[in-house]
Chains A and B, each alone.
Chain A
């Protein structure tokens, strides 16, 4: 559907530049694509394949391995309700059931207005605060039915726009590493030739001599 936009392509090239091998930038670029469209489109995967020099099948292989990359359109807000043991004991299943009733969809589906997707997930590492859920990976702790309803109201009304960006945006602060602060990029082959691990080389090392 959508390849990376020209602005995002520039960003993609910057991200690729951080790694000794373009292929290493695959996952950050998939996040970029998901940020752009809310999910990872086929065209974006094909575009990323071109940018990092692998086949589209390899990009799909990587992308489909990870739960956080969505290959189909999902809601603006993806709500992950934990149903793992601690949350289950504290009412996670009931919370999920309430969410399904409230939004009129089953877990895994998206509301017709495209706002909400509910997912039942395994442990999200908030057992002390059970039952817990995440909205676009932002936590809500000890959620009861009322808290869920007001959360949905707030999201609908846009009152949480500052806190919770649309699905796909991991962070609003983008990492920019100035050239002079960047660790010197040494490929594994060069490092092996120099007999030292790659991380030994700080940016002051101009180059690795005697490479193969």
Chain B
């Protein structure tokens, strides 16, 4: 297309749609340009997040490109200058009615019993754009009513209109082309290969995008009619990606989650774990009332006043026995920001202990999460960028981030360099995979940017791969890094070491910290880690700021999760409060956790369920869960978004922050908060990283996608219209509005200044201890479905935990002298488990790979949390 006439006056493509001249963006499809200007063209196959295919022909319209009007599918045609489109001409209408009549030929009229009825594009558009009547009098095609294509998704083939949305999603978006068009012509159907179900982590999205009722969720099937559903937007807190969801309920029962499309995060997609684990909240096992352990050692339902008194007494007993340092709080990464703040204020501001850790030694150090120069998901996925992936398998731990990264690599030219000890679900996306020995990522990072010093080998990576990666990084701009724990059999120090090495070599690197649990970032923001106070302030710097505002401030930095459990096991902690934490399952070292829980005299739990750890508690306070309370959450980018209540908590369960406030009251101190709003106001006032985050901002239309903390400072008053991304733009406008106020709040003359934000210091990386010749270094990875509480209490997901074998290199396996696939005893100095050992060419020599938290192979029996690595021995003699 060459433009022979005068150049368009502005940057855009002038086209006429239904007689109105509009300006389309360059490359914009007609269907999009029309919709943006208020003209809806009917469609079934077109989906804005997938490549158009023009399968359904519904969006056909008369388009004149200068050669006379012709019927064209508007989802396949980019706007060109001077184009004239008629979406409501007689010809267009006749064509669209014809297409609809054709699509309805074989579509059964079982709308009254179809899940989609009431929210069905086919139903809606048959009314709005259809002929009203069918001339088809013959028998419709019949096929077996729903066949399961996976454990979660059912397929009703006779309802299918072959729009290619689900199959396109499976292939192009998820990368799991396990459903496909089978046969040809009139016999075409979507189906799986016999015996190979559509076992994708993202299968639920196909149900959501199916424009007819062909795909339905086994969980939701026949549960509700769409017009009975009440909906509210919220943010999924299953993992730390923070996908925007719509919580849909009927009669005070949550029935489903649907993905909501927001640009900076999830693009409308959800993973199946996030989409389907709602059953866990409604599970029989859910705690409905507080429990107090009776004299016989059995839990008894208690009144809240009694339970709170008992819990407060337990804390007071700890205080009396050993002062604030004898009380510790573990967990909190699943709390809302407001509840996290309330518990931090209770622990650090009322009780005065700094033994608080929201993670269970399975996450990342707060210093790295809060202090590293940060990148958003959009920064990482920016077209043409280069990304270093150091850490976990995103597909297993942060599935929707994997989808974003996959799109960036396959469609937007992002190049991925992966540093990992074992190839995983992300490796096929990587331009280069640098497979290194466990715990030596920092060596690889150094080798990427400088020559390897004599006597070292850069973590054992393949020199050719290293050269490729070096060339790639040389030709690229500043990299971004996704940084996380790839194995919880290694200490978190290695993550810090890798970050330190990367910042040394490439100081402009920005990081996306791949924490796993829902609100880990928010809990850390609120100070739920040793040495921290709310708002990313260190204890040392923030003490003067918080001392006059809180009843007290901890005297010195406390223990992290490992330290807390060690101290508890040594009898130094008298009261341990578990905030939704289950150390016996989630802490890497079960033996230490078990010693701690059996030794600590007073154990108080705030939880939704009686987990294995909670069974040791003397008091259990029933907390409200997702969708049952208002608040905010913070995703792994540091993006704060709003959580909305949709249903009431079961029984008498209460919001966590209320529990914190009640406990404080019984300990003789008033948190002075009566609502979530009060908490948020206090956070915005006191917590440095929350400065400027007012309710006006959070609940504004501009902040519908959330706001990334900290807001840019007031100096950035000139909006950079050219390339400011949505988040930055929001932040800027917010900062403009709030700057004056927050300055007025903190007059330097009248008291201690607001502390600065914690920054990443790092330290000199250490070498891992030498591996002895008889041992293999353990790599403990994760899968999406495991023995976690939410998965196990969701009937449709519980069976999907895949179990694990121990994978080793053939060289190491040969020394065992038994065939691959034999069950053997795997030992470390502290424990042993039985596991099937198999050879895998992808595994490095000297390493052994298994999945954490799976049935039958309790890896947490093997891991010593005080060691930086876990070396296992496999005993062939002891079968």
Asked if B699 is at the interface (CB within 8 A of a chain A CB), the reply is no
Q: Cβ of B551 < 8 Å from any Cβ of A?
A: no
Given A54-B177, A57-B177, A64-B182 contact (CB < 8 Å): yes
Chain B residue with the shortest CB-CB distance to A60: B193
> Total A-B residue pairs with C-beta atoms closer than 8 Å?
38
Q: How far in angstroms is the closest Cβ of chain B from A201?
A: 24
A64 CB contact (under 8 Å) in B184, B192, B195: B184
B110, CB-defined interface residue at 8 Å: no
Q: Are B196 and A61 in touch, CB under 8 angstroms?
A: no
Does A65 have its Cβ within 8 Å of any Cβ on chain B? yes
Bound together, the chains give a CA A65 to CA B192 distance in angstroms of 15
Given contacts A54-B177, A55-B177, A58-B177, contact A46 B193 (CB under 8 A): yes
B817 at the interface (CB under 8 A from A): no
Chain A residues with Cβ below 8 Å from B178 are 55, 57
Question: What residues on A are CB-neighbors of B182 within 8 Å?
Answer: 60-61, 64
| A45 part of interface (Cβ distance < 8 Å) | yes
Q: A61, B181: Cβ atoms under 8 Å?
A: yes
Q: Which residue of B lies closest to A54 (CB)?
A: B177
Instruction: State in angstroms the CA–CA spacing of A54 and B180 once bound together.
Output: 12
A56 in the interface (beta carbon within 8 A)? yes
Q: Is B194 in contact with chain A by the CB < 8 A criterion?
A: yes
B193 near A45: Cβ-Cβ < 8 Å = yes
Query: Cβ of B179 < 8 Å from any Cβ of A?
Result: yes
Q: Chain A: which residue is nearest B183 at the CB level?
A: A64
Q: Which residues of A contact B181 (CB under 8 A)?
A: 61
Within 8 A of B (CB), among A63-107: 64-66
C-alpha gap A61/B188 in the complex (Å): 10
Contacts of A60 in B (CB 8 A): 180, 182, 193
Determine if A42 is an interface residue (Cβ-Cβ < 8 Å).
Answer: yes
Q: What 1/0 mask marks residues of chain A from 35 to 60 whose CB sits below 8 Å from any chain B CB?
A: 00000001001100000001111111
B177 touches A42 (CB 8 A): no
Q: Are A65 and B184 in contact (CB under 8 A)?
A: yes
B53 to chain A, nearest CB (A): 15
> Which residue of B has the minimal Cβ distance to A66?
B184
**How far apart are the CA atoms of A45 and B177 in the complex, in Å?**
15
Which size class do A's interface residues fall under?
A: 10 to 19
| A65 CA / B188 CA spacing, docked (Å) | 9
Residues on the B chain within 8 Å of A59, using CB: 193
Name which of A57, A60, A61 has the most chain B CB atoms within 10 A of its CB.
A57
Q: Is the CB of B184 within 8 A of A55?
A: no
> Which chain B residues lie closer than 8 Å to A57 at the CB level?
177-180, 191-193, 196
Say whether A58 contacts B194, CB under 8 Å: no
A59–B181 alpha-carbon span in the complex (Å): 10
A55 to B196, CA, bound (A): 9
Please measure, in the bound complex, the distance between the C-alpha atom of A58 and the C-alpha atom of B192, giving whole angstroms: 9
Contacts of A61 in B (CB 8 A): 180-182
- Which B residues, 479 to 519, have Cβ-Cβ distances below 8 Å to chain A? none
In the complex, what residues of A have CB within 8 A of residue B180's CB?
A: 55, 57-58, 60-61
Contacts of B191 in A (CB 8 A): 57
Residues of B within 8 A of A46 (CB): 193, 196
Output the least CB separation between A99 and chain B (Å): 25
Provide the bound-state CA to CA distance between A31 and B338, in Å.
64
Question: In chain A, what residue has the closest Cβ to B179?
Answer: A57
Instruction: State how many angstroms separate the Cβ of B168 from the closest Cβ of chain A.
Output: 13
- Interchain CA distance A42-B193 in the complex, whole Å: 8
Within 8 A of A (CB), among B166-216: 176-184, 191-196
Docked pose: A21 CA to B777 CA in angstroms: 37
Q: Which residue of B lies closest to A61 (CB)?
A: B180
B177 surroundings in chain A (CB, below 8 A): 54-55, 57-58
Nearest CB in chain B to that of A56: its residue:
B193
**B193 engages A55 (CB within 8 Å):** yes
Q: How far is the CA of A90 from the CA of B420 in the complex (A)?
A: 71
Q: How far is the CA of A60 from the CA of B183 in the complex (A)?
A: 8
> Smallest Cβ distance from A177 to chain B, in angstroms?
30
Residues of B within 8 A of A58 (CB): 177, 180
Within the complex, what minimum Cβ distance (angstroms) separates B397 from chain A?
24
- A57 to B177 alpha-carbon distance, docked (Å): 7
When distances are taken between beta carbons in the complex, the residues of chain B under 8 Å from A42 are 193-195
Q: What's the minimum C-beta distance from B177 to chain A, rounded to whole angstroms?
A: 5
CA distance A66 to B182 in the complex (A): 10
Chain B residues whose CB sits within 8 angstroms of the CB of A65 once the complex forms: 183-184
Query: Which residues of A have CB within 8 Å of B194?
Result: 42
CB distance from B567 to the nearest CB of A (A): 52
In the assembled complex, the Cα of A64 lies from the Cα of B181 at a distance in Å of 9
Determine the chain B residues whose CB is within 8 A of the CB of A45 once the complex forms.
193
A66 surroundings in chain B (CB, below 8 A):
184
Q: Is the CB of B196 within 8 A of A56?
A: yes
| Of A45, A46, A64, A66, most B-chain CB atoms within 10 Å | A64
CA distance A55 to B177 in the complex (A): 7
Chain B nearest CB from A63 CB (Å) reads 9
Contacts of B184 in A (CB 8 A): 64-66
- Docked complex: A191-207 residues within 8 A CB-CB of B: none
Complex alpha-carbon distance, A66 and B196, angstroms:
22
Q: Which residues of B contact A56 (CB under 8 A)?
A: 193, 196
Q: Which of B176, B178, B193 has the largest count of A CB atoms less than 10 A from its CB? A: B193
What's the Cα separation between A65 and B184 when bound, in Å?
Answer: 5
Q: How far is the CB of A49 from chain B (nearest CB, A)?
A: 8
CB of B383 to closest CB in A, whole Å = 16
Which chain B residues (191-248) contact chain A, with CB distance < 8 Å? 191-196
Residues of B near A55 (CB, < 8 A) are 176-178, 180, 193, 196
Interface-central residue, A42, A60, A65, by most chain B CB under 10 Å: A60
The CA of A60 and the CA of B167, in the complex, are separated in Å by 14
Chain B proximity of A190: nearest CB distance (Å): 16
Give every chain A residue within 8 A of B176 (Cβ-Cβ). 55
CB distance from A115 to the nearest CB of B (A): 27
Nearest-CB distance from B193 to chain A (Å)? 4
Tell me the nearest residue of chain B to A49, going by C-beta: B193
The CA of A78 and the CA of B615, in the complex, are separated in Å by 70
Question: Residue of B at shortest CB range from A46?
Answer: B193
Q: Tell me the smallest distance from the CB of B262 to a CB of chain A, in Å.
A: 31
Chain B residues with CB below 8 A from A54, complex form: 177
B265 to chain A, nearest CB (A): 28
- Interchain CA distance A64-B177 in the complex, whole Å: 16
| Closest CB in chain B relative to A57 CB, distance in Å | 4
Q: For the complex, what is the distance from the CA of A60 to the CA of B196, rounded to whole Å?
A: 11
Residues in A with CB closer than 8 Å to B179 are 57
A42-B195, A58-B177, A61-B182 given; 6 more Cβ-contact pairs under 8 Å: A55-B178, A55-B193, A55-B196, A56-B196, A57-B178, A57-B193
A residues at B contact (CB < 8 Å): 42, 45-46, 54-61, 64-66
A-B contacts, 27 listed (Cβ < 8 Å): A42-B194, A45-B193, A46-B193, A46-B196, A54-B177, A55-B177, A55-B178, A55-B193, A55-B196, A56-B193, A56-B196, A57-B180, A57-B191, A57-B192, A57-B196, A58-B177, A58-B180, A59-B193, A60-B180, A60-B182, A60-B193, A61-B180, A61-B182, A64-B184, A65-B183, A65-B184, A66-B184
Closest 6 CB pairs of A and B: A61-B180, A56-B193, A57-B180, A57-B193, A64-B183, A65-B184
B contact residues vs A (CB 8 Å cutoff): 176-184, 191-196
